[in-house]
Amino acid sequence: MTLERVRPGSADPRLKKSYDRAIAILIGGNAALALIKGVLAWTTGSSAIFSDAANSFADTLYSILMGIGLSLSQKPADISHPQGHSRFDPLIGMLVTAAMAGAGAAALYESIQRFLGDVRTIPLPLPTLVLLTAALIKLVMYRSISRIGRKTGSPAIHAGAQDNLMDTLTTASAMIGIWGARYLHPIADPVAGVLVALWIFRTTWRVGRQSLGYLTGRGAEQEVVREIIHRAGQVPGVENVHRVIADYVGPKLRVEIHVGVDGRITLERAHGVSDEVEARIKTLPSVDLVFVHVDPVRKT
């Protein structure tokens, strides 16, 4: 008798292709923007632009980490990880949030230092052009990464998409800061830097909470549980559904369900009912594994 210790399956080449495309966009775009904004922050002395440059630098680092993590998450199941390596995906999502939080802290510190020290008027033409171009690039990156995230269901890529959307808004805030410093008061620049940092922290919390839920086995949403019960109950031969446990193992759900069948039917037929329940539930995009327990129902 052989004992099956590892779940069957292998890496999806289409999924890997989508992951590779997302990582190439993230690393290439973020590295270029970090360099451009860093040079601009150094030449202008703007704390708002410095905040934005720090954020882009952190984005580049997390993009590299994401590439490593997504590659690990695609490894097939083995003895060390018999259910697969999918939890590396939300783990990288947590590293993304840590990088975002670090960028927010750097931006906040620099802005407060500038607020307490020397505030200055920032020249407009070049910084405005650069920041406007950066915002447009980030918007294009957000749309591209968001599409890949919806297609793959990856929490790490979803975090990357949300970070790009956040960057579009923070870059716009930096631009408002340098214009405010020019036409209202020089203090507008560090104030904009503080607002950028606070927005970074807000997005960090939202993205981090989702990834943490995937890592700690958060339960499925109620509408998903109801759909699972409905699909199981529609299978011919199922008399009732009396227990459902659906929790996240990485970015996908593991479902354990108990169904009642007529206790007088043959084992072969009961097994067929179980297989049909499993097949119908696994068609849900968010479901990865399904374990069906068949319980006999006595009929009078």
Q: Are residues 196 and 237 in the same domain?
A: no
Which has more confidence, 247 or 66? 247
Domain with 243, as residue range(s), is 222-297
Last residue of a domain, one of 190, 215, 240: 215
Gap between the Cα atoms of 86 and 163, Å rounded: 21
Residue 36 burial (C-beta neighbours within 10 Å; 0-12, 13-18, 19+): middle
DSSP 8-state symbol, 37: H
Structure tokens at 244: 């459902």
Cα 296 from Cα 123, distance rounded (Å) = 78
Q: Which two tokens stand for residue 226?
A: 């109801």
DSSP annotation of 286? T
Are residue 230 and residue 154 in the same domain, yes or no? no
Highest mean pLDDT among 16-20, 118-122, 180-184: 16-20
Average pLDDT, the chain: 78
Tell me if the pTM is above 0.75: no
Given a cut of 70, is residue 125 above it in pLDDT?
no
Answer whether residue 2 is part of any domain.
no
pLDDT digits (tens, 9 = 90+) for 138-159: 888 888 888 888 887 777 777 7
Quick one: 22 and 134 in the same domain?
yes
Three-class secondary structure of residue 287 per DSSP: strand
Contact 73, 89 (CB under 8 A): yes
Query: At 290, which CATH number?
Result: 3.30.70.1350
Residue pair 11/75 in contact (Cβ under 8 Å)? The answer is yes
Taking CA atoms, 81 is separated from 5, 53, 72, 73, 186, in Å, by 10, 39, 11, 11, 56
Angle, helices 125-152/155-183, rounded to nearest 10 degrees:
160
Question: Residue 193 falls within a domain, yes or no?
Answer: yes
12 pLDDT exceeds 70? no
Domain with 117 in it: what CATH number?
1.20.1510.10
Considering only CA atoms, which of 13, 38, 30 is closest in space to residue 160? 30
Least confident of 9-18, 132-141, 229-238: 9-18
- Domain presence at residue 64: yes
* Domain end point (choices 215, 250, 277): 215
pLDDT classification of 1: cutoffs 50, 70, 90: very low
For 60-92, give the DSSP string: HHHHHHHHHHHHHHTSPP-SSSTT-STTHHHHH
The region that residue 224 occupies, defined by phi over 0 for left and psi between -120 and 50 for alpha, beta otherwise, is alpha
Q: How many structural domains does the chain have?
A: 2
Q: Which of 160-174, 221-235, 253-267 has the lowest mean pLDDT?
A: 160-174
The band of 131, judged by pLDDT with boundaries at 50, 70 and 90, is confident
Considering the domain architecture, whether residues 127 and 40 belong to the same structural domain is answered as: yes
pLDDT tops 50 at residue 3:
no
pLDDT at 119 over 60: no
- Separation in Å, CA 277 to CA 247, 291, 292: 18, 9, 7
Place of tokens 């097994």: 271
Q: Compute the chain's Rg from CA coordinates.
A: 25
Q: What percent of the chain has pLDDT over 70?
A: 78
Q: Residue 40 is encoded by which pair of tokens?
A: 């601009």
* Structural domain includes residue 19: yes
**Does residue 6 lie within any of the structural domains?**
no
